[in-house]
């Protein structure tokens, strides 16, 4: 590494990004380009000779910026929030700057140990039940997305069920979601081999705030048992994507327990709110869950990507995902007193995301992170009030429903 060049070019990139944020409100939030626009601007073949960073940054401005949707613009209200912060940038720069690949403890001990500590910190801020903490049978891991977290827990549930089955195969396993559950769950179920016909979508309605009810879950599972099927996995949600609905965790979790079903709680977006004591009640009943996931890259100022997953029984996850190739053999793993996070995820390689989350938590502190959540909720209260005033109170907008879920 040419240190002078590295320092000079990195500073130029940081200044470039700072200028982008200074000017961000000048851009149309939604890109105005037509499909295929970039083909006309960028050569078909890669360059044989190098370009200076200044030329590349110039081309980003002229060619790439017009095709960006400006997710970090204060005027962006699409999809869901994907908050960034200066601490998130600093953490992300350190993560890629150190560029370690901590797939096993020995591959970078600090990366593994920091992840375990930060996940316990997060569990502490979110007031998760102690069963999710690393000291006992449970523990946490950082993935890139909820989809990965759900795939891994589904695989663990599947393998655990198959190992205990009396000859029933995967074709008998059924999984349960509501009509509001994120579509990522359907993809995850497909990826772990659950037949599409065994994916149960339970209807919700306005009367229950678009949430599941214990009764609806029980009826669906009962019907499957009667039909000779084996209920496997229930996905509950706190803060569904479309309307911010909150499933009653304790009630549906108890039904899942009755049927011996793995209960996952997806709080990708709203999960960050649990760091505020006044919003923690929406997560009551988490003690009944086998796993819980939330994305700090959505609402906790950690830049993309960062999805926290906790499980109450890490051995089920590891039994399903562990691999022991000869080339990765090492004493620490063999002695068995270390975590090898490669066995908690799909890929072997992994980013040092714990660094980012650690920097964000340290730089803001729990107190400022709570203020961030509270000020967003307050803003939504104001927007709800204004939209009701402007449009009469008959119709609820997306923000109203999200607020309705959190208040
Ligand atoms: N679950 C919920 C409730 C979400 O709102 C979203 C994204 O909007 C997801 C899951 C998907 O998350 P990811 O992109 O991390 O897989």
Domain borders along the chain are 3-78, 93-356
Residue 294 neighbours by CB under 8 Å, 6+ apart: 126, 267, 268, 270, 271, 272, 274, 307, 308
Q: Is the pLDDT of residue 166 over 80?
A: no
pLDDT digits (tens, 9 = 90+) for 230-282: 999 999 999 999 999 999 999 999 999 999 999 999 999 999 999 999 999 99
Rounded CA-CA distance 176/235 in Å is 6
Q: Which class in CATH covers the domain with range 93-356? A: alpha beta
Q: Give the model's confidence band at 92: pLDDT under 50 very low, under 70 low, under 90 confident, else very high.
A: very high
The pLDDT assigned to 383 comes to 64
Cα of 53 vs centre of ligand 1, distance in Å, is: 35
Examine the pLDDT at 400 and tell me if it is beyond 60. no
In this structure, are residues 348 and 107 in contact, taking their beta carbons and an 8 Å threshold?
no
Nearest atom, ligand 1, residue 241 CA: 5
Residues with CB under 6 Å of ligand 1 are 80, 145-147, 182, 184, 237, 240-241, 266, 268-269, 295, 307
For the stretch 190-227, pLDDT in tens is 999 999 999 999 999 999 999 999 999 999 999 999 99
Are 355 and 95 in contact by the 8 Å Cβ rule? The answer is yes
β-pairing verdict for 173-178 and 199-202? parallel
Both tokens of 183, joined, read: 């579509």
Can you tell me the distance from the alpha carbon of 406 to that of 273, in angstroms, rounded to the nearest whole number?
Answer: 8
* pLDDT value, residue 379: 84
Atom of ligand 1 nearest to the CA of 150: 16
pLDDT in tens, 168-191: 799 999 999 999 999 999 999 999
Per-residue DSSP letter, 309 = E
Distance CA 379, CA 296 (A): 20
Residue 70: CB atoms within 10 A of its CB come to 18
Query: Interior CA angle at 388 toward 386 and 393, to 5°?
Result: 170
Rounded to two decimals, the pTM is: 0.92
Q: Classify strands 262-266 and 230-237 as parallel, antiparallel or unpaired.
A: parallel
Give yes or no on whether 3-78 and 93-356 have one common fold.
Answer: no
Asked if 122 and 387 touch (Cβ cutoff 8 Å), the reply is: no
Mean pLDDT, rounded, of the chain: 93
Name the fold adopted by 3-78: dopa decarboxylase, N-terminal domain (1.20.1340)
Measured between alpha carbons, how far is 194 from 190 in angstroms, rounded to an integer? 5
Cα of 147 to ligand 1 centre, how many Å?
Answer: 7
């Amino acid at each position: 590494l040419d240190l002078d060049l590295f320092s000079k070019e990195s500073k130029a990139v940081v200044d470039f990004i700072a200028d982008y944020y200074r000017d961000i409100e000048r851009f149309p939030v939604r890109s105005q380009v037509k499909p295929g626009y970039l083909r006309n601007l960028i050569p078909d073949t890669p360059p044989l000779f190098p370009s200076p960073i200044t030329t590349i940054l110039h081309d980003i401005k002229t060619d790439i910026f017009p095709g960006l949707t400006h997710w970090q613009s204060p005027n962006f209200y699409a999809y869901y929030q994907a908050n960034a912060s200066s601490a998130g940038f600093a953490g992300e720069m350190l993560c890629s700057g150190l560029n370690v690949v901590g797939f096993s403890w020995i591959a970078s001990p600090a990366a593994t140990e920091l992840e375990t500590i930060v996940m316990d910190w997060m569990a502490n801020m979110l007031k998760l039940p102690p069963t999710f903490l690393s000291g006992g049978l449970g523990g946490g891991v950082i993935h890139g997305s909820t989809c990965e977290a759900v795939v891994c827990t589904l695989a663990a549930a599947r393998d655990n069920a198959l190992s205990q089955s009396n000859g029933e195969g995967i074709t008998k396993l059924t999984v349960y979601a509501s009509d509001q559950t994120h579509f990522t769950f359907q993809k995850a179920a497909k990826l772990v081999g659950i037949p599409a016909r065994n994916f149960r979508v339970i209807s919700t309605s306005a009367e229950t705030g678009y949430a599941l009810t214990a009764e609806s879950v029980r009826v669906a599972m009962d019907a499957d048992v009667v039909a000779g099927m084996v209920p496997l996995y229930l996905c509950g949600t706190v803060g569904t994507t479309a309307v911010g609905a909150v499933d009653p965790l304790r009630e549906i979790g108890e039904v899942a327990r009755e049927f011996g079903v793995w209960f996952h709680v997806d709080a990708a977006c709203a999960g960050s709110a649990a760091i505020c004591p006044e919003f923690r009640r929406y997560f009551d009943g988490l003690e009944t869950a086998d796993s819980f996931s939330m994305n700090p890259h959505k609402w906790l100022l950690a830049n993309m990507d960062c999805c926290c997953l906790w499980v109450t029984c890490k051995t089920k996850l590891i039994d399903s995902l562990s691999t022991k190739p000869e080339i990765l053999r090492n004493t620490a793993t063999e002695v068995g007193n270390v975590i090898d996070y490669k066995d908690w995820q799909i890929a072997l390689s992994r980013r040092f995301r714990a660094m980012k989350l650690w920097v964000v938590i340290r730089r803001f502190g729990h107190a400022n992170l709570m203020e961030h959540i509270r000020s967003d909720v307050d803003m939504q209260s104001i927007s709800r009030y204004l939209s009701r005033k402007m449009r009469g109170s008959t119709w609820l907008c997306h923000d109203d429903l999200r607020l309705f879920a959190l208040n």
